[in-house]
Structure 1
Amino acid sequence: MAARSGPRVPDEVWVHPAVQVAIANWDFGLASRLIRERAALRQDDMALMTGLSQSFLSMLEAGNRRLTSLDKATRFLEGIGTPESLLAPPFREQAPPTASAGVALPALGRHVVPPSVQHVADLNDLTAHAAVRSLQFTDEIAKTTVSSAELEGLESTLTRIAGDYVHAPLRQIFTDLVTTRDCLFTLLNGRQPLGQTRELLLLAGTSCLLLAHASQNLGDEDAAIAQLQTAWTLAEQADHNDLRAWVKGTAALIAEWSARRQTALEYTRQATRLTPGGETRIRIAAIEARAAARVGDRPTALAALEDLQRAREQPAPSDALTRFGGLLSFPEAKQEYYIGGTFALLGEHQLE
């Protein structure tokens, strides 16, 4: 091995049993601390040798962080000059003598298909292969192009838009929604863990749902329906019933004011099957009651009002959509408006 310039680990450190055990167990935090103590090195020296930051090494040694990235683990071991004899098979460039002919153990960071037990002479080698493959997989699925701050910011933006919808100029609302939706679509084209993907799908679907309302308010029913179709697809991809229910409820609202009024009732029945309670269930019942009254179906309208009342009497936490508030909530004042509208359409202006 060529002589190293700068800080280095003396050869005698590598023969210490505790150092050897720490490396064998892939306990890189303990190995770093033991090596520094025996080599009289500072964390800054280790950072210079390994390419890892001093703050990361400090957390690694304290047990608050781990080297789960194969590339970083390799960089750490190579940077401190770990002798080949102490490296587990996955960290060696060449296959050890115990491996059977034709089976090359991987260099770290390459795609590896673990061999079967029958093709590996040493079971320890197979264990090492399996461990590396698991780490490779977790390293891949943990990668993300989305930060928690971005998600929180986008949710905050949609909350603001939903709240501003009833009083801000519609043009500004529409522009903000398009910008937010496009940002969400861009992030969804990146990569992120499944939990973040589901949240992005929900936020993108919510933005399209709000765009459907805005398009309808602007008198473009075709555009509204297109936005709802997109929101439904995103809800399906996220497997999110709250979003599904809101999409169906909004579709019912659009149908109620069109020539397809009977279709509105079918949409509300579909939505009812998707939401067990809470404000969303109250909203669906209110829409169904008014839509039924609009087509002269008094029994269905009264049954829907009874369903609304039952939902009111069973408090439930906010769901994934009503938490945004504003247009995406259904407060008591709006409930009473729909109830009054239902009785007015039925010609029953006095509540019993």
Structure 2
Amino acid sequence: MVGEWTGREARALRDAQRMSIREFAAHLGVHERLVSKWEAGGSRVRPRPVNQAALDTSLARCDAAVHARFASFLAPAAEPDLLAVPEVMSERELIMAAAHEASEHAAKAESTNVGTTTLAQLDADVRRIAREYALAAPASMTVEMLRVRRRVYRLLDGHQKPVDTSHLYLLAGTLSGLLANASTDLGYLDAAGEQIRAAWAYAELSGNNGLRAWTRGMHALIENWSDRPRNAIQLARSGAEFAQSGTATVRLLNIEARVWARLGSESDVDRCLRQAESCTDARVDDLHDDVGGVFGFAAPKAAYYAGATYVQLGRADPALAATERAIALYEAGPAARRSYGTESLARVDNATAHLLNGGLDAAADALRPVLALPEDRRIAQLGERLIGIRRRIAAPGYRDAVEARGLDEQIEDFCAS
């Protein structure tokens, strides 16, 4: 008696006795369709107790030689050595054992813990988070990102088809990218760097070029904010190798321009911005153009990036034009796509450009909506940019003005919160 039979073992017993399915079914007193069902199910199907007893009896009737060969095949202690099999098995038994091995492995490969509904829901979760992030506080969205990514991780620990595994890696990568973005908004650049490196690993595992291009761009921004601009340039250029849409290309060129501005290279800035403005690539990709949100790079965001780049170079007039365009586009656009973070940063850059031109009152007007933001939406980049404003109004020409002192106090209160 072998204990609890499975369909795989029943198949091996039938082959050991050199019986057809019809003969074996008659031998056990069952319908041949039942035997076919057992064998198709392999190790996952267990015959009913009454049939288990019939199988035990059938095994007992095997002659000693066949019984020994069959028992060695079923032995769980070690895998059969197929090279040694011809000495103890007939040719047919060897071929059938190889066939059973293949069918069992294929059955496991076909089994999955991921259904189409699960993947569709996870896709919807990522799309929702990427779009809602522009409207919500980063800390609360971080909790939601972690919840969904942990579900993806649990699924990856299970068994699924290779195509579904690749899909899950893509989801893990997009969520890690979102967490990198949230980490920068909350002021944790080291954590952001760790998240974006994980996102890159998942992009490689999934083979998704859209995620590769976006991740390289985000990593370049993190390196730039971490005072490693040369490395940031290399990352932005590396991302361009994977860009397969106009949106991805324009985004990476704008990121590269911002880094060149930090390095003071006006010629490289102008080159990158010209290329971005003249880009005619009409291709789209799923991440930048379909999911969008954090991953998108629409006209308002491009104008904001150009304004920030010109501010870095100290070029007031193009900075004013670009930031005013960004603010106007955000104000005129749909509320569901109005990124409070990017719009607020554009207003700070607009205020800086006004200060470059000597316009203290205009700068204070530009900052009024920013200084009224709720505390949970005061992202780290705003604090850093406003510190730059404080330095400017503390310089000769501004520091003695009553308006400058009042604005400085408001910024101090904003940053303290």
Instruction: Report the TM range for the smaller structure's normalisation.
Output: 0.5 to 0.7
Match of 1:336 among 303, 325, 349: 303
Q: Output the CA distance in 2 between the equivalents of 1:101 and 1:114.
A: 15
Q: Output the CA distance in 2 between the equivalents of 1:94 and 1:191.
A: 39
Structure 2 alignment gaps of length 5 or more: 1-18, 322-417
Judge conservation of contact 1:202–1:235 (CA < 8 Å) in 2.
Answer: yes
Judge conservation of contact 1:100–1:121 (CA < 8 Å) in 2.
Answer: no
2:170 paired with 1:202: yes
Paired residue secondary structure (1:178): helix
Q: Deviations over 1:129-151 (max 9, x none)?
A: 11100011112223333333222
Q: Output the CA distance in 2 between the equivalents of 1:228 and 1:138.
A: 36
Match of 2:235 among 267, 276, 281: 267
Evaluate the alpha carbon distance shift between residue 236 and residue 247 of structure 1 in structure 2; reply closer, same or farther with a 3 A threshold: same
Q: Shift in Å at residue 319 of structure 1? A: 3.4
The range that moved more, 107-116 or 249-258, is 107-116
Code of the aligned partner of 1:195: V
Code of the aligned partner of 2:210: D
- 2:268 — aligned with what? 300
- What does 1:108-187 align with in structure 2 at a 5 Å threshold? 113=80, 115-116=82-83, 118-119=86-87, 122-187=90-155
Code of the aligned partner of 2:43: D
Paired residue secondary structure (1:131): helix
Q: Output the CA distance in 2 between the equivalents of 1:211 and 1:256.
A: 18
TM-score by length of 1: 0.68
Q: Output the CA distance in 2 between the equivalents of 1:198 and 1:142.
A: 15
- 1:326 — aligned with what? 293
- What does 1:37-48 align with in structure 2 at a 5 Å threshold? none
Q: Output the CA distance in 1 between the equivalents of 2:158 and 2:54.
A: 37
- 1:285 — aligned with what? 253
Code of the aligned partner of 2:47: R
Q: Shift in Å at residue 82 of structure 1? A: 9.0
Q: Shift in Å at residue 340 of structure 1? A: 4.4
Code of the aligned partner of 1:70: G
- 2:281 — aligned with what? 314
Q: Shift in Å at residue 309 of structure 1? A: 4.4
Judge conservation of contact 1:98–1:122 (CA < 8 Å) in 2.
Answer: no
- Number of aligned positions between the proteins: 295
- Give RMSD over aligned pairs: 4.0
Judge conservation of contact 1:285–1:307 (CA < 8 Å) in 2.
Answer: yes
Q: Output the CA distance in 2 between the equivalents of 1:338 and 1:203.
A: 27
Judge conservation of contact 1:144–1:193 (CA < 8 Å) in 2.
Answer: yes
Judge conservation of contact 1:272–1:281 (CA < 8 Å) in 2.
Answer: yes
Percent of aligned pairs with the same amino acid: 27
- 1:70 — aligned with what? 42
Paired residue secondary structure (1:134): helix
The range that moved more, 204-213 or 101-110, is 101-110
Evaluate the alpha carbon distance shift between residue 23 and residue 112 of structure 1 in structure 2; reply closer, same or farther with a 3 A threshold: farther
Evaluate the alpha carbon distance shift between residue 100 and residue 122 of structure 1 in structure 2; reply closer, same or farther with a 3 A threshold: farther
Judge conservation of contact 1:201–1:235 (CA < 8 Å) in 2.
Answer: yes
Judge conservation of contact 1:94–1:105 (CA < 8 Å) in 2.
Answer: no
Q: Output the CA distance in 2 between the equivalents of 1:294 and 1:226.
A: 23
Structure 1 alignment gaps of length 5 or more: 1-19, 27-31, 37-45, 51-56, 61-65
Q: Output the CA distance in 1 between the equivalents of 2:253 and 2:51.
A: 66
TM-score by length of 2: 0.58
Judge conservation of contact 1:114–1:133 (CA < 8 Å) in 2.
Answer: no
Q: Output the CA distance in 2 between the equivalents of 1:208 and 1:323.
A: 18
Q: Output the CA distance in 2 between the equivalents of 1:141 and 1:267.
A: 38
Evaluate the alpha carbon distance shift between residue 72 and residue 276 of structure 1 in structure 2; reply closer, same or farther with a 3 A threshold: closer
Judge conservation of contact 1:279–1:329 (CA < 8 Å) in 2.
Answer: yes
Q: Output the CA distance in 2 between the equivalents of 1:95 and 1:129.
A: 18
Code of the aligned partner of 2:217: G
Q: Output the CA distance in 1 between the equivalents of 2:309 and 2:179.
A: 27
Judge conservation of contact 2:244–2:283 (CA < 8 Å) in 1.
Answer: no
Q: Output the CA distance in 2 between the equivalents of 1:102 and 1:244.
A: 53
More helix by share: 2
Q: Output the CA distance in 1 between the equivalents of 2:64 and 2:271.
A: 79
Judge conservation of contact 2:21–2:32 (CA < 8 Å) in 1.
Answer: no
